[in-house]
A and B are shown apart, each in its own frame.
Chain A
Amino acid sequence: MAKIIFIEHSGATHEVDAKTGLSVMEAAVKNNVPGIDADCGGACACATCHVYVDPAWLDKTGKPSAMEESMLDFAENVESNSRLSCQIKVSDALDGLTVRLPESQH
């Protein structure tokens, strides 16, 4: 279990307990956190699970794969801390992870 904190674009905050092994996207969707559409269910095919990882956590979340990087390349409002949340696996090391959500996923 790890606590993940999602901060919506509006500032609304959601704290969820996420099972180890799930993706950060699944943790959001299963808890009805708005703002992560995840149209492809985690297949790294849609880029509608875009989040900004809090800079303090960037080391722990690791680097995106080549596929993820090229998907992000064409997503909207991409920043250097952008990730596709379906590609980040929840682990004990991520307890307390904070991610911000973009204004929209399209």
Chain B
Amino acid sequence: MTGDPGTEAAQSPDLSGRVVIVGAGHAGGSAAALLRQYGWTGPITLIGDEPLIPYQRPPLSKAWLKGEADGDSLALRPASFYTEQSIRLRLSTGVSGINTAARMVTLDSGEAVAFDHLILAVGAAARKLPVPGAELAGVLELRTAADAELLKNALGPGKRLAVIGGGYVGLEAAASARALGAEAVVIEREPRVLARVACEELSGFFQDYHAARGVTFEVNAQVQGFVGTDGRVGGVALGDGRTLPCDVALVGIGALPHESLARLAGCECRQGIVVDEATRTSVAHIYAIGDCTQRPLPLYGLSGRLESVPNALEQAKQVASLLCGRPAPAPETPWFWSDQYDIKLQIAGLPHHAVTRVIRGNPADAKFAVFHLDAENRVQAVEAINAAPEFMAGRLLVGNRKPVAPEKLRDTSVSMKEVAA
């Protein structure tokens, strides 16, 4: 069930309704701006519980953490933008309830705010590690600018960082810590880093690259708890009895979508707020976008949760187009990037139906790509290391589903233009 067809915004675009957006992050901030760009004339209220205007999170583990970008450059748009565009920003304001019948949201203060259309852009929360000592000072997570500030202040020459979880955010933080002169150890439960999100070749490449730059690894490792003195972390206790000393620990073991508000409103949730290809939830007049959603992946005939900026932007476009009565934007190929040291990783697609992998280039040159092909030699996903042509052509191929010749793909003397032609 999606929406009530009689009041479907796309069918009778009334651009004057009251839009309330909960969550002033990447998705919420972008949706507000796009609504105005597409001609929405009604009141737009953007409510967020963080004290900051909408900002980008990717630099928090990369350029910003290394001190290469200032706070101003994090903001999606300057504060004046919201005034100029008559977007009412309510920061440091949490939403605690939704009354679907009366079409109101309730703020933490008890105040009610009425809406005609409600967009949930509430993001996700860092997953907690339920072990003894997790409450010690210096055991950090990295989701918000405030988290990043704590981490940055704890790093510096000679400091020891223990990263729990070898995902992208953890590896990026380790690389940034090295750039700041700190030591870094990455503790991973699986036999390899990036186990959930990348192929073996890529995991191996990143682990070697980090190791050559002084990061140490503990794989197949169980964290029993954190130990410390005077309420401050001093080490990570492992399952094999060892304790690794550290001055600061970063827990980076994934994120859980914020679902509680949507559940209160009766929206179907299944590892994320379930939405359709136009961001409608199961409840009329309520939409959801960004990290908090369980969304269709039309290229793969599946649904899933994507935690990326391109996903937040795609869904922001979808909801703004729907409300403003514009044609639905064409589905995009999911993609992602990560920067570590001088390495640019770009990934397009998802390897769900892949049966073979083709490697183009040589990992030893830090310039290569792994293509994931299905049984008909169609590219399902590409993981590109310092290989922009492979990424760009691969992204096209994932979208247009044209079969490729694996021997050409493997042969770097054949250009990607020719492979994709």
Q: Does B bind A?
A: yes
Query: Could you list which residues of chain A lie within 8 angstroms of chain B, going by C-beta atoms?
Result: 22, 26, 29-32, 34, 37, 39-41, 43-47, 67, 70-71, 73-75, 106
Would A41 and B309 count as touching, CB distance under 8 A? yes
Query: Could you list which residues of chain B lie within 8 angstroms of chain A, going by C-beta atoms?
Result: 33, 36-37, 56, 58-59, 73, 75-78, 81, 84-85, 309-310, 313, 330, 332, 335, 337, 339, 344, 346, 386, 388-389, 392-393, 396, 416-417
A77 to chain B, nearest CB (A): 14
Given A22, A34, A40, A75, which contacts B337 in the complex, CB threshold below 8 Å?
A40
Would A74 and B330 count as touching, CB distance under 8 A? no
Would A74 and B393 count as touching, CB distance under 8 A? yes
- Determine the residue in chain A with the shortest Cβ distance to B339: A43
A14 to chain B, nearest CB (A): 12
Known: A73-B389, A73-B392, A74-B392. 4 other contacts (CB 8 A): A29-B77, A45-B344, A71-B392, A74-B389
Given B58, B78, B392, B417, which contacts A47 in the complex, CB threshold below 8 Å?
B392
Would A39 and B310 count as touching, CB distance under 8 A? yes
Given B36, B58, B332, which contacts A43 in the complex, CB threshold below 8 Å?
B58
Would A30 and B310 count as touching, CB distance under 8 A? no
Given B59, B77, B339, B393, which contacts A30 in the complex, CB threshold below 8 Å?
B77
CB-CB < 8 A to B84: which residues of A? Answer: 32
B268 to chain A, nearest CB (A): 29
23 contacts between A and B (CB under 8 A): A29-B77, A30-B77, A30-B78, A30-B81, A32-B77, A32-B84, A32-B85, A37-B313, A39-B313, A40-B337, A41-B59, A41-B309, A43-B337, A45-B337, A45-B346, A67-B386, A70-B389, A70-B392, A71-B392, A74-B388, A74-B389, A74-B417, A75-B392
B386 to chain A, nearest CB (A): 8
The 8 closest A-B pairs by CB, nearest first: A74-B392, A70-B388, A45-B337, A70-B389, A71-B388, A41-B56, A39-B310, A34-B37
Docked complex Cα distance between A70 and B394 (Å): 13
Q: Contacts A40-B309, A43-B339 given; indicate if A32 touches B389 (C-beta within 8 A).
A: no
- Determine the residue in chain A with the shortest Cβ distance to B75: A30
Would B330 and A67 count as touching, CB distance under 8 A? no
Interface of A is mostly: loop
Name which of A22, A31, A43, A47 has the most chain B CB atoms within 10 A of its CB.
Answer: A43
Docked complex Cα distance between A47 and B389 (Å): 12
CB-CB < 8 A to B386: which residues of A? Answer: 67
- Determine the residue in chain A with the shortest Cβ distance to B317: A37
- Determine the residue in chain A with the shortest Cβ distance to B345: A45
A89 to chain B, nearest CB (A): 12
Docked complex Cα distance between A58 and B114 (Å): 51
Docked complex Cα distance between A74 and B75 (Å): 29
Docked complex Cα distance between A74 and B391 (Å): 9
Q: Contacts A37-B313, A45-B344, A71-B388 given; indicate if A26 touches B73 (C-beta within 8 A).
A: yes
- Determine the residue in chain B with the shortest Cβ distance to A37: B313
CB-CB < 8 A to A32: which residues of B? Answer: 33, 36-37, 77, 81, 84-85
Docked complex Cα distance between A40 and B330 (Å): 19
Would A74 and B337 count as touching, CB distance under 8 A? no
Docked complex Cα distance between A101 and B64 (Å): 29
Q: Contacts A43-B58, A67-B344 given; indicate if A74 touches B396 (C-beta within 8 A).
A: yes
- Determine the residue in chain A with the shortest Cβ distance to B329: A106
CB-CB < 8 A to B388: which residues of A? Answer: 67, 70-71, 73-74
- Determine the residue in chain B with the shortest Cβ distance to A31: B81
Docked complex Cα distance between A71 and B58 (Å): 20
CB-CB < 8 A to B33: which residues of A? Answer: 32
B250 to chain A, nearest CB (A): 22
A40 to chain B, nearest CB (A): 6
Name which of A47, A74, A75 has the most chain B CB atoms within 10 A of its CB.
Answer: A74
A43 to chain B, nearest CB (A): 6
Name which of B76, B84, B392 has the most chain A CB atoms within 10 A of its CB.
Answer: B392
CB-CB < 8 A to B73: which residues of A? Answer: 22, 26
Docked complex Cα distance between A70 and B339 (Å): 17
Name which of A43, A45, A71 has the most chain B CB atoms within 10 A of its CB.
Answer: A45
A13 to chain B, nearest CB (A): 16
B31 to chain A, nearest CB (A): 14
A68 to chain B, nearest CB (A): 8
- Determine the residue in chain A with the shortest Cβ distance to B415: A73
A80 to chain B, nearest CB (A): 17
CB-CB < 8 A to A106: which residues of B? Answer: 330, 332
Docked complex Cα distance between A37 and B37 (Å): 12
Would A41 and B58 count as touching, CB distance under 8 A? yes
CB-CB < 8 A to B337: which residues of A? Answer: 40, 43, 45-46
Docked complex Cα distance between A33 and B59 (Å): 23
Would B310 and A46 count as touching, CB distance under 8 A? yes
